[in-house]
Amino acid sequence: MSTPDVHISEVGPRDGLQSVQATMPTADKCRWIDALAAAGLREIEVGSFVPARLLPQMADVAEVVRHAVTLPGLTVMALVPNRRGAEAALAAGVHKLTLPVSASEAHSLANVRKTREQMVAELREVVALRREVAPQVPVEVGLSTAFGCTLQGLVPEDEVIALAVACADAGVDEVGLSDTTGMANPAQVRRLFTRLRAELGEKAGAAHMHNTRGLGLANCLAAYDVGVRSFDSSLGGLGGCPYAPGASGNVVTEDLVFMFEAMGVSTGVDLQTLIAAREPLRAGLPGEPLYGMTPEAGLPKGWRA
């Protein structure tokens, strides 16, 4: 089987579900993850290991991980804010860890109650734990609010790059950039990812874009144009950040796959099966609005990926 031209990481079961008021039942989460994997998505962020009192939507994350790891060929990823979360995630059997490090100091304090420097120290703890108990498990960071913050406003690009370098020096495998608040524009995306790739080389990671102001796909294309080949997205555009006011919706996975496939850039994802994966999502979250232009319009006449 040939390797796709771009790697798409589905973040709906974590980033999406933590951002809605309702809690999806565990059985529905598992059915939804099954449907996403059946569409050809090879990496899914299935939840976050945080205290249930903070995010009750994630209280069943260990059970969800234990189901997801039975799906063949799927990389099961989970978000962990600290060493304790990493210990629980590794015990549950996750294949990949991701940590939230904020480029904005204000967002860092609101989101994880730690300064940026304290989060880099936490990274070192998690990397040491990984080295000790699960050396095969990659650790990645998505630098949130890398393109601006609803709490502090402008985030200087030099600070973003310096923090990315500090994360890489702490021993993580990959550092990506996240437009948590949907403030990015394509020129800024090209500029910052060009700098990131120049500084980090192979450790430069994914583009995680939000569609808050309608520029999500344009920003993904801008990142692709400067060499980024890994992208986060969410089925139906679910998601945001509970600790960043006004941070709405992720890039819609269906639209992102359509854009790349229409360009002749392979994703490894079957669009019709992917669109069908909206049904178990609807069943598990009845009444929750779902977004996406491609599912609404349908595939063009004569469509061939």
CA 41 to chain centre: 13
Q: What is the DSSP string of 95-115?
A: SEEEEEEESSHHHHHHHHSS-
- Catalytic residue at 241? yes
Closest CA to 134 of 193, 83, 196: 83
Q: What is the dihedral of CA 194, 197, 199, 205, to 10 degrees?
A: 130
Distance CA 6, CA 9 (A): 10
Residues 6 or more apart in contact with residue 34 via CB below 8 angstroms = 71, 280
- Measured CA to CA, the distance from residue 112 to residue 117 in angstroms comes to 12
Q: Distances from the Cα of 234 to the Cαs of 43, 126, 259, 292, in angstroms?
A: 12, 26, 15, 10
Which of 30, 149, 220, 241 is an active site residue? 241
Torsions phi, psi of 287, nearest 5? 90, -10
Tell me the catalytic residues.
Answer: 241
